[in-house]
Chains A and B, each alone.
Chain A
Amino acid sequence: DGGITQSPKYLFRKEGQNVTLSCEQNLNHDAMYWYRQDPGQGLRLIYYSQIVNDFQKGDIAEGYSVSREKKESFPLTVTSAQKNPTAFYLCASSTAAQETQYFGPGTRLLVL
């Protein structure tokens, strides 16, 4: 089945720890995105990538890092510099930057 997978479903982070969220797609999409959702709010863009080996900061990139070494993969690292990481993280992809974005099932990050 074609789609977007995110893992893990739940992730726990200790103080000072970096954690990495996985996002994989087999839709052959060029563009991939990471959004953050806080309770009762809409989604906000963290990072996006329109092509392999290229990515750009979104509105709330501080404390996060990404890589795009393969077309199908766009992992997000939440670093210790992100002081309020508890949120629901959603990955999306689209055939091209201006096309419809399709979302993965999300990862819920909690701080211990």
Chain B
Amino acid sequence: AQKVTQAQTEISVVEKEDVTLDCVYETRDTTYYLFWYKQPPSGELVFLIRRNSFDEQNEISGRYSWNFQKSTSSFNFTITASQVVDSAVYFCALSEPSSNDYKLSFGAGTTVTVRA
């Protein structure tokens, strides 16, 4: 079963628009970790944020913000005032300590295209 679902395959916006990427996860663990990574065209995954399951505070970092809602098992990501450099594939991922390998279970990714 898919542990992380990113329902949006592709999103296209015009520069300066806001864009929200949805992420829904599934786990039986009470302690778990959620991540967002950015994959620009070069291919390297760039770490954006890590959130543990006990910290439900929303976080803002510059134009990026994250909304963690445990009640709906969602960890959504918003880019405010998007720029062309934000064009990339964005992955949400889950790490579950009970799995012993601490692997990252990735969603399929959302491709964001920001047009000038």
Contacts from A to B (Cβ < 8 Å): 31, 33, 35, 40-45, 48, 56, 58-59, 88, 90, 92, 94, 97-98, 100-106, 108
Mind listing 6 A-B residue pairs with CB under 8 Å?
Answer: A45-B101, A90-B45, A102-B47, A106-B43, A106-B44, A108-B43
Known: A98-B95, A98-B97, A105-B42. A45 touches B47 (CB 8 A): no
B-chain residues with CB within 8 Å of residue A100 when the two chains form the complex:
35, 47, 50
B-chain residues with CB within 8 Å of residue A48 when the two chains form the complex:
101-103
Number of interface residues of B (CB under 8 A): 23
A-chain residues with CB within 8 Å of residue B33 when the two chains form the complex:
98
How many residue pairs bridge A and B at CB < 8 Å? 59
Contacts from B to A (Cβ < 8 Å): 4, 33, 35, 37, 42-47, 50, 91, 93, 95, 97, 101-104, 106-109
The listed residue with most A CB atoms (<10 A of its CB), out of B4, B37, B47, B102, is: B102
A97 to B104, CA, bound (A): 11
The A interface is mostly helix, strand or loop, or mixed, namely strand
A-chain residues with CB within 8 Å of residue B104 when the two chains form the complex:
35, 43, 45, 101
Whether A42 pairs with B107 at a CB distance below 8 angstroms is yes
Whether A58 pairs with B103 at a CB distance below 8 angstroms is yes
Nearest CB of B to A86, in Å: 15
Whether B91 pairs with A33 at a CB distance below 8 angstroms is no
A104 to B37, CA, bound (A): 13
Whether A42 pairs with B108 at a CB distance below 8 angstroms is yes
